Amino acid sequence: MFFKHLKECRERRFARDELGGGRGFGHRHGFGGRHGFGGRGKFARIFDHGDLRYVILQMIAEKPRHGYEVIKAIEEKLAGAYTPSPGVVYPTLTLLEETGYATVAEAEGNKKLYAITDAGKAFLAENRSIISAIFDRISETHAAHGGGPAPQILRAMENLKVAIRLRLSQGPLNDEQTRAIAAAIDAAAQAVENVK
C-alpha cells in the first residue's frame, strides 16, 4: 500500500513538472545552487527544474544505456563543465520507468540497461521544442568549455577520488595498506608528469 501511494505521489509530481509547476528533482535553485554550477556565478544554469529528465530520456532514445553511461554521456556533451550526480540520475531513471517512458531492457546484477518505450518516444515528440532548447544550451556550454580539461581526465580524477574515499571509509588501514595506496597514487602522479 505504501509503495502504491509513493508511486501516485511521484506521478502527480511528474505531471506537475510537465505542466511547468512543481519543483521536480533538485533543489529550490536548480542544479548547482542559485548562481549556476557550484554557486560560483561563473556559468549560466544549463538545466532548469525538470530538464534533466528530458535529457536522460533523449539519451536512452539514442541507444539503451546504464545509469553510469547516462552520467558519462551528459558529462561529455557538456565538455566536463557539469556531471550529474548518481543521486539525481538514478531516481530520474526510476521515475521514467514508473511513468512508462522507459523500461529496463536487461539487468546484470545491479546494473540496469534502460531503453525508451513507445510512450517515451511520444513524450519526446510532444516536447520536441523544449528538448531542442535544452540541447541548444548544452551545445553552447560545450563550445564554451571545449578548451577545458578533457572529460576523460575529469572522469579519471573523479574515479580516483571516489576509490580512495571508498577504501578509507571501509575502516582503518594497516601500515602495509597505507604504503601501498600512497605508492599507487605517487606512481600515477609520476606517470602523468612523464606524459609528453
pLDDT for 43-63, tens place per residue? Answer: 446 676 778 888 899 889 999
pTM, to two decimals: 0.51
Count of structural domains, the chain: 2
Among the three residues 148, 164, 181, which one is the final residue of a domain in this structure?
148
Integer Cα distance of 6 and 1 in angstroms: 9
Reported as a single tens digit per residue, the pLDDT across 93-140 is 999 999 999 999 877 777 889 999 999 999 999 988 888 887 777 777
pLDDT value of position 25: 38
Mean pLDDT computed over 145-172:
80
Pair (143, 156) in one structural domain: no
Q: Give yes or no: residues 113 and 166 share one domain.
A: no
Host domain of residue 25: 2-148
β-pair partners for 102: 116
Domain CATH number, residue 136:
1.10.10.10
Same domain, 23 and 93: yes
Q: Are residues 184 and 127 in the same domain?
A: no
Grid coordinates belonging to 43? 556559468
User: Are 92 and 162 in the same domain?
Assistant: no
Do 86 and 106 belong together in one domain? Answer: yes
